[in-house]
A = this chain, B = another copy of it.
């Protein structure tokens, strides 16, 4: 049976939006699970080949696949040493663009337990992605991560 949508006042994204929003929520759930379980292969697959990530640091942007595979492996080493790092994505906004890309904005909670088990720390970051569609799914092509107190 076809879905009858609530009328949304001429919103051009009306038709595909619920499907897209659910898909993007699942996308981030999986991408963060790959990150936190240190599953570098599937995790790299969620980015384009030439994806770049800007982190809240003075360093230049990092090539996502190479730089973040390192990050994932470092997380695995830390976890073996007793530390924990969990990423949570929420407050997701999804804005399809005229050129067929997506822009998303979300808030990312990072919950870190230091090596050896000291008191956990919680950080909140803003994460803004540009995503492109290829091979039947979305891939992060550019990511900017910011934190107000590190601006």
Contacts and interface: CB of A to CB of B under 8 A. Distances in A.
Contacts of A16: 3-6
A12 to B, nearest CB: 12
Interface in A1-32: 1-6, 8-11, 14-23, 25-26, 28-30, 32
A73 interface: no
Chain A interface size, under 10 / 10 to 19 / 20 to 34 / 35 or more = 35 or more
Task: Kindly report how many copies of this chain are found in the complex they form together.
Answer: 3
A111 B126 CA distance: 13
Binding site secondary structure of chain A: mixed
A92 interface: yes
Interface of A: 1-6, 8-11, 14-23, 25-26, 28-30, 32-33, 79, 82, 84, 86, 88-94, 105-107, 109, 111, 113, 117, 120-122, 124, 135-137, 148-149
